[in-house]
Amino acid sequence: MIIDFIENSAQYEAVHPSFKTAFDYLKQSDKEALDGLINEEAGVKMFAYKGEGKSKAKSLETFECHDKNIDIQFCISGREGFLWKPRAKCISPNGDYNTEKDVRFFNDEPDTYFELLTNQFVIFFPEDVHAPMISENDLDKIVVKVLI
């Protein structure tokens, strides 16, 4: 897992060949134009959540990880909370792996709670089990799926 501000994103562009493309998109001023954007050549898909009221209390409802994608979650404004635990320490799966949605859920208790602030991002690799969208307010964020 990596947490930082978008202005420092160049430090992480060498981690994956598509990270520069993803970060360049996130630096655009028109964030609404990113919703649904797919760049198949770079293996990047983007989804926006703006004021949709999908936030929840600290919950394991979506304590998840992915096998085929890296998540870059970017806070456009406000703050968003996350729960986290290394996948190697998770021992209680919640159902089977969903290949179509590339998601695996767990019932384990998280090790860490943290919040992103405006213009911060978090990168979740397959070894990072996470529960996003923890907020008392509507969320304004973008999720980038980067194909491994």
**The amino acid at 5:** F
Q: What tokens appear for 102 in the block?
A: 């590339």
**Where do the structural domains in the chain lie, given as residue ranges?**
2-147
Instruction: Identify the sign of the CA torsion 91, 95, 100, 103.
Output: negative
- Give the integer Cα–Cα distance in Å for 44 and 54: 23
Output the average pLDDT for the chain: 92
pLDDT tens-digit readout, 73-97: 999 998 999 999 999 999 999 999 9
Name the band, by pLDDT with cuts 50, 70 and 90, for residue 139.
confident
**Claim: this prediction has a pTM higher than 0.75:** yes
Are the C-beta atoms of residues 118 and 76 closer than 8 Å to each other? yes
Could you say which DSSP state residue 33 is in?
A: G
What percent of the chain has pLDDT above 70?
94
pLDDT tens-digit readout, 94-117: 999 999 999 999 999 999 999 999
| Edge-to-edge strand ranges of the sheet holding 2-5 | 2-5, 120-124, 69-77, 140-147, 44-50, 38-39
Q: What tokens appear for 107 in the block?
A: 């019932």
Average pLDDT over every residue of 54-72: 83
- Give the integer Cα–Cα distance in Å for 79 and 89: 27
- Give the integer Cα–Cα distance in Å for 11 and 89: 28
- Give the integer Cα–Cα distance in Å for 75 and 59: 19
Q: Which CATH architecture has domain 2-147?
A: Sandwich (2.60)
- Give the integer Cα–Cα distance in Å for 87 and 140: 27
